Structure 1
């Protein structure tokens, strides 16, 4: 069973006000933290929706501005074309992914209840997602998961950076933890 890790990084960072993928948390870019956490758990990584030197990168599919589903669609198609059975997706702004995320998700298809952009998806869902993107008005990950019959997995709360205040709060927690 070959697993592709897909980092969804094509958003506009509207709430953050600047490119949050490269925002630093304790000296490390948020996307760098996701790469470090997800990389050891998968056979290969791909970055969706942006270019990062040193990594395979794919444009959101079928085009930009579709939210996380555009990145997931790109990853599913990349996976099918390159012999991967499944894709684990994660956003570029979730800096503390569990080091055993893939094992805890276990069998696809599933998504994390608290953060549906994190999920384990069979690559065979690529055409189903294409049809959904072509016809659906609701392009949320949760809506897609319901339509695709995907089960949710409770992993508790996971940190996610949407605003500068979120980043400041995490930075403060990191500083407090390192001073203990």
Structure 2
């Protein structure tokens, strides 16, 4: 496999934060989005941002901004599809996605996802963390996605599918399990309380 490209998913409505772009909120004096870019960029060949609305608000990041091609808010899978369409234009075989509101995700996210897909003889892999009650909890906005499945995904979205794992399970997705000893690496900022918690985690050295 060629080195995957990176796509940061920032197409959400941020209703629990009162609207706006969660990634533009500052954490430790740095926008969360910048922290995500800094973690993802060394792991991939190129990075793009999936976001809807006026792309000018992201002009300072010097990234391609790609909007959903599916009408209405269709959720993370629409962002994955937008990323796959962009990646095909770049000549890439796959993308890895990361959420724009999750500043502490693993610095070895991409190689572990690639390894998980290989071990499962699968084209897709999702990140997960251990859970004492459920075994593992998958984090479907953090995944490895092949461009070869973009038309399959487009058809599924056009048929009304929205839940990520319903589509990934059709394709026997692999799972990369990341440990949580130093805190949840996939902690995401959805509310003002979450932002305060992330600030505490930053101070505790989780990053």
Taking structure 1 as the reference length, the TM-score comes to 0.91
Q: Give, in whole Å, the separation in 1 of the partners of 2:27 and 2:72.
A: 27
Task: Name the counterpart of 1:26.
Answer: 28
Q: Give, in whole Å, the separation in 1 of the partners of 2:190 and 2:166.
A: 20
1:144 aligns with 2:164: no
Q: Give, in whole Å, the separation in 2 of the partners of 1:123 and 1:2.
A: 13
1:157-177 per-residue CA deviation (whole Å, 9 max, x = no partner) reads 421111111110110122243
1:134 corresponds to which of 155, 158, 181: 158
Q: Give, in whole Å, the separation in 2 of the partners of 1:104 and 1:133.
A: 27
2:69 corresponds to which of 61, 72, 85: 61
Q: Are the counterparts in 2 of residues 22 and 30 from structure 1 also a CA contact under 8 Å? A: yes
How many equivalent pairs are there?
177
SS of equivalent residue, structure 2 residue 98: strand
Q: Which runs of 5+ in 2 are unaligned?
A: 118-122, 129-137
1:173 aligns with 2:201: yes
Displaced runs of 4 or more, over 6 A: none
Q: Are the counterparts in 1 of residues 113 and 175 from structure 2 also a CA contact under 8 Å? A: no
Q: Are the counterparts in 2 of residues 63 and 70 from structure 1 also a CA contact under 8 Å? A: no
Aligned CA-pair RMSD? 1.7
Q: Are the counterparts in 2 of residues 15 and 163 from structure 1 also a CA contact under 8 Å? A: yes
TM superposition shift of 1:64: 4.1
1:103 aligns with 2:111: yes
1:93-140 per-residue CA deviation (whole Å, 9 max, x = no partner) reads 11012111111112341011331110011111110100100113x402
Q: Which runs of 5+ in 1 are unaligned?
A: none
Taking structure 2 as the reference length, the TM-score comes to 0.80
TM superposition shift of 1:152: 2.4
